[in-house]
Structure 1
Amino acid sequence: MPVITFFQTKGGTGKTTSAFLLAEILSRSNSVTVVDCDPNKPFEEWKKDGGNGEKFEFVTALDPDRVPHEIAEASGRSAFVIVDTEGSANQTAARAAAMSDMVIVTSTGTPLDQKHAAKAIKFVRTAAKTAGKDIPVRVLMTRQKAVGVSRTVKQAIANMRNSGVEVLDCQLIERDAFAALFGYASLLFDLDPKKVNDPGRAYFNARVFVNQVLAALRPVAEGQGAKSKAKQEAA
């Protein structure tokens, strides 16, 4: 089953929020396990703060030696596995990336975020080379303005695409509802409309994001199917 890892070497890019949104929406119609490798244990803290009603499972895996085991076990019982890594280029992130079918690197598009995004992409490519496999990387622009795209962000996207880096067309907007997920320890679709601004736009934005991730995964799944068929024919 697909393993999707969220990775960045810098905090504040919406990495965990993006992973949470993907887990919540996918779990509405699929089995999902989140492997939380962040020492801050955001998913565990969300639960302790009163979060409930989630349809996805999550496990906390802070020991680098346990990460491959937890991902493998989750893959055996869930249709999707989502890995939220620490904001650091470390052994845990390398092992998670090596087991991934796709890595999503988050960035707000600022020059500093872009430098770290470039480091993250290079790190994933090195992990892929070491593992002897191709690991697709997609960049997700996060915390964007609701109206218009800044010149800085437009240039950042253009620079990445010119360098052969694939950027998701969908951007996660800076929405009150997204910030409230951990602030109120709530699922996106359970948020009280009286406590957040315009949650409907956040619902739509999150769904578009998830649909684009699924579309990006489709060629990966087709490639895996072709390899499996070739092995069976060779046998």
Structure 2
Amino acid sequence: MPVITFFQTKGGTGKTTSAFILAEILSRSNSVTVVDCDPNQPFEEWKKDGGTNEKFEFVTADDPERIPHEIAEASGRSAFVIVDTEGSANKTAARAAAMSDLVVVTSTGTPLDQKHAAKAIKFVRAAGKQAGKEVPVRVLMTRQKVVGQSRTVTQAIANMKKNGIEVFDSQIMERDAFAALFGYATLLFDLDPKQVNDPSKAYFNAKVWSFQVLDILKQQREGQGSPSKSKQEAA
């Protein structure tokens, strides 16, 4: 089953939030397991803070030596496996990347984020090479302005594409609903419109991006000549 890993070498890029969003959307009609490799255990904290009703399973993988086993076991019982790594280029991240069908590198588009995104991509490619495979990696622009795109972000995207780095067409916008996921320990679809501004736009944003992830995985599968079909479709 597809393994999707979220990776960055710095914090503040929306990595964990993006992983959570994808897990929630896919789990509406698919079995999903999140392997939480972040020592801060954000998914566990979300649960302790009162998070409920999630349809995805999550396991906290605090032993680096167990990471490959946790991912393999999750792959055996779930249609999708989502791995949230620590914001560091370490052995855990390398092992997760090497087992992935897609690595998502998050960036807000600032010069510092772009510098770390480049490091993350280089790290993922090296991890794949060491494992004897090419690991697909794509950059997700996060925390983007709802109205208008800054020249800095526009140039950052242009530079990445010029250098052969693939970037998601969809972006994760800066919305109260996404910040509320961990702030209120809630699911996106359980948000109270009285708590955040227009959550319906966040739902739409999350769905559009999640569908693009599925489309990319489908294209990869077909490109490999696999006759198998996706077991299930997203909500």
- TM-score above 0.5, yes or no: yes
* Root-mean-square deviation (Å): 1.1
The TM-score, its normalising length taken from structure 2, stands at 0.95
Please name the residue that 1:61 is paired with: 61
Residue 221 (structure 1) shift: 2.0
User: Does 2:176 match 1:176?
Assistant: yes
Please name the residue that 1:205 is paired with: 205
Please name the residue that 1:76 is paired with: 76
Aligned runs of 1:1-235 on 2, under 5 Å? Answer: 1-226=1-226
Residue 82 (structure 1) shift: 0.1
Which of 203-212 and 218-227 deviates more? 218-227
Q: Secondary structure at the match of 2:22?
A: helix
Q: Secondary structure at the match of 1:214?
A: helix
List gaps (5 residues or longer) in structure 2: 229-235
Amino acid of the residue matched to residue 9 of structure 1? Answer: T
Please name the residue that 2:232 is paired with: none
Residue 225 (structure 1) shift: 5.0
Residue-by-residue CA offset, 1:205-226 (whole Å, 9 max, x unaligned): 0001101111111122224553
Residue-by-residue CA offset, 1:59-90 (whole Å, 9 max, x unaligned): 00021110000000000000000000000000
List gaps (5 residues or longer) in structure 1: 229-235
Amino acid of the residue matched to residue 147 of structure 1? Answer: V
Amino acid of the residue matched to residue 183 of structure 1? Answer: G
Q: Secondary structure at the match of 1:155?
A: helix
Distance 2:196 2:226 in 1: 46
Amino acid of the residue matched to residue 152 of structure 2? Answer: T
Q: Secondary structure at the match of 1:179?
A: helix
Amino acid of the residue matched to residue 77 of structure 1? Answer: R
State, as a whole percentage, how many aligned pairs show the same letter. 82
Residue 152 (structure 1) shift: 0.2
Residue-by-residue CA offset, 1:90-110 (whole Å, 9 max, x unaligned): 000000000000000000000
Q: Between Structure 1 and Structure 2, how many residues are aligned?
A: 228
Distance 1:154 1:188 in 2: 28
Amino acid of the residue matched to residue 163 of structure 1? Answer: N
Residue-by-residue CA offset, 1:32-58 (whole Å, 9 max, x unaligned): 000000000000000000000000000
Amino acid of the residue matched to residue 222 of structure 2? Answer: E
The TM-score, its normalising length taken from structure 1, stands at 0.95
Distance 2:184 2:99 in 1: 33
Which of 60-69 and 105-114 deviates more? 60-69
Q: Secondary structure at the match of 2:226?
A: helix
Amino acid of the residue matched to residue 105 of structure 1? Answer: V
Change (3 A) 1:172 1:100: same
Residue 186 (structure 1) shift: 0.2
Residue 227 (structure 1) shift: 9.0
Q: Secondary structure at the match of 1:58?
A: strand
